[in-house]
Amino acid sequence: MPATGQSADVASAQEPAPLRAPQTGHPPESPGAQDAPAIRASRTAGPDLDWREGGIPVSTRFDDPYFSLADGLAETRHVFLAGNRLPERFREGFAIAELGFGTGLNMLATLIGWRAAGRPGRLSYLSFEAFPLAAPDIARALAAFPEARAVADPFLAAWGAGRRRFDLDGMAVEVRIGDARDLLPRWEGRADAWFLDGFSPAKNPELWSEALMAEVGRHTAPEGTFATYTAAGHVRRALAEAGFTVTRQPGHGRKRHMTTGVLGR
Ligand SMILES: C[S@@+](CC[C@H](N)C(=O)[O-])C[C@H]1O[C@@H](n2cnc3c(N)ncnc32)[C@H](O)[C@@H]1O
């Protein structure tokens, strides 16, 4: 989650200019890329990275960091895991979905929680990502989080080989490459827990639109939940409109608020 996300209440409600396809931006070996027909995404191809002191990757396309400058792993645990009441709710067949795979830090924090929970069965983790990072960039980003980096080798090996579906200790990971606005409506499944982790709504409005939040609601299992670092008013309203009971909660560290929700109720 980007550090700037918190100030997003001022985000413009207007629809973003349509993003247009970076067909050239996807590794040709990616099965996800073949799955995605008309990818709307992208202002141009590739993620366009810059590096901040401390090894924090910053998207120059969106002018926002990939995760919090202040202990991204702790913030991931606070916002996405605790915000969805995980790992407590883990059970056989539990399904997590995410908007914005980025460096895979959220996925690795989930893997650590899944392993520690020691539940039998399988967990599924599906993420939507328009601008996949290259494996060496992901490895460089993860170096800031030794605990996550320590479990990342099998993921990095699969990712570097162009695989976008792989199993990590009973956690079935799939990353669908393309614009979430195109891919999510065509997803056949439903998630028990959503990680909403676009760049800040002010800088990446397409990943927070009312239409996409409605799709999140449509793709949530009964009693399913979402969590996000942002407390932007228009995002909260869109999620309420999508059928969630929305709650503002204390954010991580110096961020005042974040948002969680339960479908229905
Ligand atoms: C804050 S980063 C996600 C960080 C990530 N969850 C992690 O653990 O590193 C936001 C991500 O959303 C992706 N993104 C932005 N717009 C998108 C879109 N329209 N469809 C799919 N992904 C998008 C970006 O490329 C970026 O990887």
Question: Is the pLDDT at 222 greater than 80, yes or no?
Answer: yes
Question: Is the pLDDT at 28 greater than 70, yes or no?
Answer: no
Average pLDDT over residues 40-57: 73
Domain at 107, CATH number: 3.40.50.150
Whether 19 is in a domain gets the answer no
Average pLDDT over residues 154-166: 98
What does the pLDDT look like over 73-125, one tens digit per residue? Answer: 999 999 999 999 999 999 999 999 999 999 999 999 999 999 999 999 999 99
Distance 63 CA to ligand 1 centre (A): 12
Residue nearest to atom 10 of ligand 1 (CA): 198
Candidates 78, 112, 129, 230: which one to mutate for ligand 1, based on the most atoms within 8 Å of Cβ?
129
Question: Is the pLDDT at 265 greater than 90, yes or no?
Answer: no
Distance 101 CA to ligand 1 centre (A): 5
Whether 24 is in a domain gets the answer no
pLDDT band at 45 (very low <50, low <70, confident <90, very high): low
Question: Is the pLDDT at 33 greater than 50, yes or no?
Answer: no
Ligand 1 pocket (Cβ < 6 Å) reads: 1-2, 41, 47, 66-67, 100-106, 128-131, 179-181, 197-199, 204, 206-207
Q: Helix (H, G, I), strand (E, B), or coil: what is residue 9?
A: helix
What does the pLDDT look like over 165-175, one tens digit per residue? Answer: 999 999 999 99
- DSSP annotation of 193: E
Distance 120 CA to ligand 1 centre (A): 30
Among 19-23, 50-54, 65-69, the least confident range:
19-23
Distance 43 CA to ligand 1 centre (A): 14
**What pLDDT is stored for residue 199 in this prediction?**
97
Question: Is the pLDDT at 254 greater than 70, yes or no?
Answer: yes
Number of domains in the chain: 1
Whether 71 is in a domain gets the answer yes
Average pLDDT, the chain: 86
Strand segments, DSSP code E, in the chain are 49-52, 56-59, 64-65, 94-99, 123-129, 165-168, 171-177, 191-196, 220-228, 244-250, 257-263
Q: What is d(CA 179, CA 137) in angstroms, rounded to the nearest whole number?
A: 21
**What pLDDT is stored for residue 3 in this prediction?**
55
Average pLDDT over residues 169-194: 97
Residue nearest to atom 17 of ligand 1 (CA): 130
Distance 209 CA to ligand 1 centre (A): 14
Q: Helix (H, G, I), strand (E, B), or coil: what is residue 88?
A: coil
Whether 20 is in a domain gets the answer no
Distance 128 CA to ligand 1 centre (A): 8
**What pLDDT is stored for residue 253 in this prediction?**
85
**What pLDDT is stored for residue 22 in this prediction?**
33
Whether 15 is in a domain gets the answer no
User: Which has more pLDDT, 141 or 23?
Assistant: 141
Q: How many residues does the chain have?
A: 265
Q: What is d(CA 203, CA 65) in angstroms, rounded to the nearest whole number?
A: 11
- Whether the CA torsion 54, 157, 126, 207 is positive or negative: it is positive
Task: Identify the residue whose tokens are 């979905």.
Answer: 97
Whether 133 is in a domain gets the answer yes
**What pLDDT is stored for residue 36 in this prediction?**
34
Whether 109 is in a domain gets the answer yes
Q: Which domain holds residue 251?
A: 3-9+29-263
Pair of tokens at residue 229: 């670092």
Question: Is the pLDDT at 250 greater than 80, yes or no?
Answer: yes
**What pLDDT is stored for residue 6 in this prediction?**
38
Average pLDDT over residues 180-191: 98
Distance 223 CA to ligand 1 centre (A): 25
Whether 102 is in a domain gets the answer yes
Residue nearest to atom 18 of ligand 1 (CA): 179
Q: Using an 8 Å Cβ cutoff, are 179 and 19 in contact?
A: yes
Residue nearest to atom 2 of ligand 1 (CA): 66
pLDDT band at 42 (very low <50, low <70, confident <90, very high): very low
User: Which has more pLDDT, 201 or 21?
Assistant: 201
